[in-house]
Amino acid sequence: MPEITLTQAPAHVRHGSSIGQPLTRRDGVLKVTGTARYAADNHPDGMLYAVLAVSSISRGRVAGLDVGAAKAHPGVVEVMTPANKPPLAQDPDEKGNPFTFRLDLLQSDRVRYANQPVAVVIAETLEAATEGAALLSPCYEAEPVRAGLDSDDSFVPPAVGVGNPAEERHGDVDAGLAAATVRVEAVYETPAQYHNAMEPHAVVASWDGDTLSIDTPSQGMAMAQARIAGLFGIAPENIHIRSPFLGGGFGSKGLISGPQVLGIMAARLVGRPVKLVLRREQMFGPVGHRAPTRQTLRLGAGSDGALTAIDHHAKTASSTFDDFFEPAANVAHTLYASPAIATSHEAVRLDTGTPQFMRAPGEAPGSIALESAIDEMAQACGMDPLAFRLKNYAEVEPVSGKPFSSKALRDCYTQGAERFGWASRPLAPRQMRDEAGLLVGWGMGTATFPALMFQAQARAVLRSDGTGVMETGAHDMGQGAWTALAQIAADGLGLDLDRIEFRSGTSDLPDAGIAGGSAHTATAGMAIHSAGADVIARLADLATADERSPLFGAGNAGVIARGGRLFRRDDESRSESYADILARAGLPEIEGRGSGATDPAAQSTYAMHAHGAVFAEVKVDPDLGQVRVSRLVGAFAAGTIINPRLVRSQYYGGMIWGVSFALHEHAVMDGRSGRPMNPNLGEYHVPVNADVPSLEAILVEERDPHVNALGIKGVGEIGVTGTAGAIANAVWHATGIRVRRFPIALESLIATAA
């Protein structure tokens, strides 16, 4: 399938800049009509179906597989096991960088976690492959399982997140606590959570000699291309990845996973195209998850409510064979002013799949604990939670001392509180009820997420017919990248949106970086902006050096690109169309290239974050303990807004995820077997529409001249932070019961008799 090209613009597009317009999604019609093609929708000629057989134990070895029974089943073509898998050029346990994780590719009979792939059955039909996998009937030699955070073998990890120190200190925390008039110490627990994107991981792989074509969902095609190239010993340019649509990723599709590689191996083994799609329960293990945490917070404050110390300690877990440690405590670095701040982490190793990046890694579990503790301290000081936060407002980043590149958090507090009606909140809990007798509570939380950027490239073309093309291998996993990036492209090329083609979604286009860390719009957008500037500069050079052009000699004054024309900056009555400039030069088109990357000087000078404030109303049944979120109002400041409609949608999604974190999501682990007991969407609960009746997101104006040339900050993950804490604080305000173990369960509140 060729790369996706979208040329239709919505009817309401105005002339002039596309940036800032609330355009509808350019891919929307394709999706609602069912013509958007996802990875598993592809069926090349001669395709076979592959199904994973996965382990039912969490630790031990596979003692036997009934390969004969599986191969004898009608329709089964081959069974791939450690004994006959194709050779790899690279050990899948080899780690090259912090973004490389060890993969289970049938390298031995060892079992390291439940749902680990132990064989792959390849057949003419999906049914035959599924039945063949069941016939393998694995026999195991099981070993004692390591499960839960209570192991005595805890240790300080070498790093948390991606290369961040496990411990950081600013000031003397012990002295700050000793000097405090008011102290709070509390322990908060968050469970393991699993990515449950609507689209499971899938791959359709076809080999032609040493050339590989694959359809697979990817948040980072260039990284996937490089990883696959290393594993199979082929050149990256011999690998063509098509990933025009992702049905959600949340971090789990940022890096190529073991099951996707197994599908590629299966295709090589049988010499025919192969499709492999994970079943829902198979996503609980080999494709990452968020690790559980146990966080201890110690806060001290003076009699005036000013913080004297913050000590945030997080215990988390990784697998027994790889390293990823949730940086939960690090959220305390950036939010509240205190003369002494310490963050630290410890970890244990469990018989689970390796935790990996999951939406707002670190900030999501860390903020629910920190925001709960901040509310507990406000209560202990007898202060309104908003007033307490304003009292401890950080004018510079607390740990680093850097000034913020921009920070409109005060405006977020003000606008959010006014819209919500916060001023009428009673200070004491259990003071409000609705007409049905339900307890009503109001809570708030501060939202924050770093403004990140990665590296990306883009190619721009202006054609002699006055149209343009922008190419970058970007990823749209539902966040609206095709639309927002096309708006940046139109602005950079000085064309109306209906005059450009935006090409994206395949690995043969310039690398757009990874769609993660809420950085994709900034990263790919800056590459697009730079490519547009480059091609316009080349076009301007043609015109200003040509005596026949009305722009001749305007080189020093410069030109402005708008509506398919170049205008002299000092005299806009003198202009010329792109088409005329190229025609006179005898060129069918002109090309420019651009890149996007962080500015090291700005990064070393400024702290760069998006900010927000979330206000929540909950209603709690005093007899049953049932909690409903009845209202959420979030106010967020994230620099330049490319498309308000899409940004508001991202904020809604993040806030809904916060509802899920506070009240629903919980991987129930069997402590004896180490297996998840609810690996399906029937028992792994996430919010539905009825759980979120009223959402409002306020876009607070903010200009940031330092974060990047476009002033863009990310919006995808910040809504998760703040929201979960706001809900937890609202539950306390409704009931007077402080729940510190999440998600908040009925049994934690059942004692709230009317």
pLDDT in tens, 710-736: 999 999 999 999 999 999 999 999 999
What tokens appear for 423 in the block? 């001023």
- Listing DSSP states for 326-364 in one string gives --GGGGGGTSB--S-EEEEEEEEEESSPPP---SSTTHH
pLDDT at 8 over 70: no
* Residue 587 clears pLDDT 70, i.e. is over it: yes
Q: Decide: 286 and 259 in contact? Cβ < 8 Å.
A: yes
Average pLDDT over residues 269-277: 98
Label the pairing between strands 202-208 and 211-215: antiparallel
What's phi and psi for 244, nearest 5 deg?
-70, -30
DSSP 250: T
Q: What are phi and psi of 730, to 5 degrees?
A: -70, -35
pLDDT at 754 over 90: no
What DSSP assignment string belongs to 254-281? SS--HHHHHHHHHHHHHTS-EEEE--GG
Per residue, the 3-state secondary structure of 724-746, as one string, reads HHHHHHHHHHHHCCCCCECCCCH
b/e map 318-327, b = 16+ CB within 10 Å = bbbbbbbbbb
Q: Over 70: is that where the pLDDT of 112 sits?
A: yes
Q: Which residue has the higher pLDDT, 5 or 343?
A: 343
Query: What's the whole-number mean pLDDT along residues 605-616?
Result: 98
Residue 212 pLDDT: 98
Residues 332-374 pLDDT 10s: 999 999 999 999 999 999 999 999 999 999 999 999 999 999 9
Per-residue pLDDT at 555:
79
Order of strands, edge to edge, in the sheet holding 500-504?
4-6, 500-504, 468-471, 456-463, 589-596
Tokens of 745: 């369960």
Report the pLDDT value the prediction gives residue 99, as an integer from 0 to 100.
Answer: 84
Work out the end-to-end distance of the chain between its first and last CA atoms, rounded to an integer number of angstroms: 62
Q: Percent of the chain at pLDDT above 90?
A: 95
19-37 confidence digits (pLDDT tens): 999 999 999 999 999 999 9
Q: How many whole angstroms separate alpha carbon 259 and alpha carbon 102?
A: 12
Domains and CATH numbers, the chain: 4-35+455-597 (3.30.365.10), 40-144+201-277 (3.90.1170.50), 293-452+604-749 (3.30.365.10)
Does pLDDT of 236 surpass 80?
yes
Return d(Cα 55, Cα 53) in angstroms, integer.
7
336, 394 Cβ separation under 8 angstroms: yes
pLDDT band at 12 (very low <50, low <70, confident <90, very high): very low
Give the pLDDT band (50/70/90) at residue 16. Answer: low
What does the pLDDT look like over 384-429, one tens digit per residue? 999 999 999 999 999 999 999 999 999 999 999 999 999 999 999 9
What gap in Å lies between CA 585 and CA 270, rounded to an integer? 54
Cα–Cα distance for residue pair 342/313, rounded to 1 Å: 8
Instruction: Report strand pairing: 609-620 vs 439-450.
Output: antiparallel
Q: What is the pLDDT of residue 262?
A: 98
Phi, then psi, of 569 in degrees rounded to 5: -65, -35
Here the tokens at position 338 are 């205190």
| Residue 264 phi, psi (nearest 5) | -65, -40
The token duo for 31 is 């999706």
Distance of CA 579 to the CA centre of its chain: 41
Report how far residue 545's alpha carbon sits from residue 530's, in angstroms, rounded to the nearest whole number: 22
Query: d(Cα 71, Cα 77) in Å, to the nearest integer?
Result: 7
Q: Which residues contact 557 (CB under 8 A, 6 or more apart)?
A: 568, 569, 570, 571
Q: Tens of pLDDT along 127-167?
A: 999 999 999 999 999 999 999 999 879 999 999 999 999 99
Give me the pLDDT at residue 98, please.
79
Run of H or E including 632: strand 627-637
Nearest to 171 by CA among 181, 159, 179, 183: 179
Catalytic residues, by residue number, are: 717
Number of H helices, E strands in the chain: 16, 28
Q: At residue 649, does pLDDT exceed 70?
A: yes
Q: Based on the number of CB atoms within 10 Å of its own CB, is 686 exposed (0-12), middle (13-18) or buried (19 or more)?
A: middle
With contact defined as beta carbons under 8 Å apart, do 207 and 239 qualify? no
Which are the contacts of 537, defined by CB distance < 8 A and separation ≥ 6? 592
- What pLDDT is attached to residue 13? 34
Read off the tokens for 211: 């050339």
Query: Nearest Cα to 241, choosing from 262, 264, 258?
Result: 264
Q: How many residues does the chain have?
A: 754
pLDDT tens-digit series, residues 427-440: 999 999 999 999 99
In terms of DSSP bridges, do strands 589-596 and 139-142 run parallel, antiparallel, or are they unpaired?
A: unpaired
C-alpha 703: how far from chain center: 24
- Express each pLDDT in 571-586 by its tens digit: 999 999 999 999 999 9
Helices (H), 106-188: 126-135, 173-179
- 52, HSE (Cβ side, Cα atoms, 13 Å): 32
H/E segment holding residue 298: strand 293-301
Q: Quick one: pLDDT band at residue 17, thresholds 50, 70, 90?
A: confident
DSSP 8-state symbol, 283: G
Residue 4 has pLDDT above 60, yes or no: no
With CA atoms as reference, report the closest residue to 458 among 390, 388, 532.
Answer: 532
Q: Residue 479 corresponds to which amino acid?
A: Q
How would you classify residue 220: left for phi > 0, otherwise alpha for psi between -120 and 50, otherwise beta?
A: beta
pLDDT band for 751, please (50, 70, 90 cuts): low
Query: Closest by alpha carbon to 720, among 357, 342, 279, 314?
Result: 357
Gap between the Cα atoms of 24 and 480, Å rounded: 9
Mean pLDDT of the chain: 95
Residue 548 in tokens = 């026949």
pLDDT exceeds 50 at position 3: no
